[in-house]
Amino acid sequence: MMAPFVNFVKGIATWYMTVGFVSTKNMLLLVMVVHGRSRLLLRNLPRLRLLLYGIDTNWYFDSGSTDHITNDLDRITSRERYGGQDQIHAANGKGMDISHVGKSSFHTPHRSFSFNNVLHVPSATKNLISVHQFTSDNDVYLEFHPSFFYVKDLATKNLLLQGRCHDGLYPLPHKSQVHHVTKPSTSRWHYRLGHPSPAIVSRVISQNKLDFVRDPIESVCGACQQAKSHQLPYSRSDSESSSPLQLVFSDDWGPTPMSVGHYQYNVSFIDDFSKFTWIYLLKNRSDVYQVFLNFQQLVERPFNTKIITMQTDWGGEYQKLNSFFHKVGISHHVSCPHTHQQNGSAERKHRHIVEVGLSLLAQASMPLKFWDEAFLTATYLINRTPSRVINFSTPLNQLFNENPSYSSLRVFGCACWPNLRPYNKHKLQFRSKECAFLGYSDMHKGYKCLDIATGRVYISRDVVFDENVFPFSKLHPDAGKRLQHELLLLPKHLTNCDEV
């Protein structure tokens, strides 16, 4: 496939050399083409493009630029059209219009560099990197030398990137000279696992030997701060169970704003021995009775044992269950009136689910009405996350003696492209469309993908993910403000409990 292109380039190079239209440096480059010096040629691809086609694809560091500027829209991975009247002014005073604003990135074996607030200026002649914005966004500093430059970590002083000076300019090394980073960062694993603490993320990575790139400095997760700010924890009970179902905590939660699935409540059951959690979505609080019967059949059969004790509050839905508990021989422990701390395990688990669920919503800029899918995903992740309460084992391993698989985890709410061939009505329909990832199906070995335009949810195992894009963020630029406002609607006792 490459032979015709190489022969074509050789012909062009020979002609340029014959007529003498090139400088000494470009002459050396063309000699590389003619003599097949492919390795050196790869290093000089940007110069070759400029020589043959007049296209300069380099990024250049510019200490005088206040923003990153590019004339190539394809270099911006996440973008939106610019609606302002501002212009970019060159040294000659000429104003250039701004078409789009977005983000980009550059990857090296050591870390990824972010290009925030990239301005697409079609009439710009070069792609410029603002030194001030680049160093501020990535916590690095630059050293410029007469013939080369260094990019170093601001905290550790470690060398992260180096490049050479060309014609008095300092271009970013071409990507053919730098290997792409395929390993997710520790912050990406933090997002995938449902925003647990850094210690938990590190333990999951080390115990499961997961590929990762360590973040250069420890940063604050904004989604965690939005979802997890709370009072000091209550004291914990010293009682421990020695086997599954010996003690099960339960509590209902709600009412909440109506979810997309038309739910306003949920009820959880927590096994005290393993800390494994089951959650059920409810349309009415009175459904707790039937849900418990379903839960009892679900857990007693596989473990070949009976539920011994239930710990709940004395709400009306559990008062109805009290007579059933006595009938089947289940001890029923209840907390004193207005003393929900005595049912602290269930209360803390509810807060844990709420915090993880809200973190997932905040990260994806999704409306609060998707709390039902976020809470189901949060419970799925919590059951697969190590807990210090059980000596950093996972509830899944503690209860089922099964190690969780993390290779299938993806960031909640990110863009996904499911294979829609089975759903197409004719052969000319597109094979896929951009959806939002809604979590993991409990009945299928597949992912739930929401088509935002139609509201339809597809369940598929054949899905391509883009974990850098969140479709709801493009639809709701002020979703963060609305989410903060919606959080104020939650009763205080639902957000002021201790974490499990």
Q: Among this protein's residues, is 62 annotated catalytic?
A: yes
441/463 Cα distance (integer angstroms): 13
Q: In whole angstroms, give the CA distance from residue 253 to residue 430.
A: 42
> Which residue is catalytic, options 56, 62, 313, 498?
62
The residues carrying an active-site annotation are 62
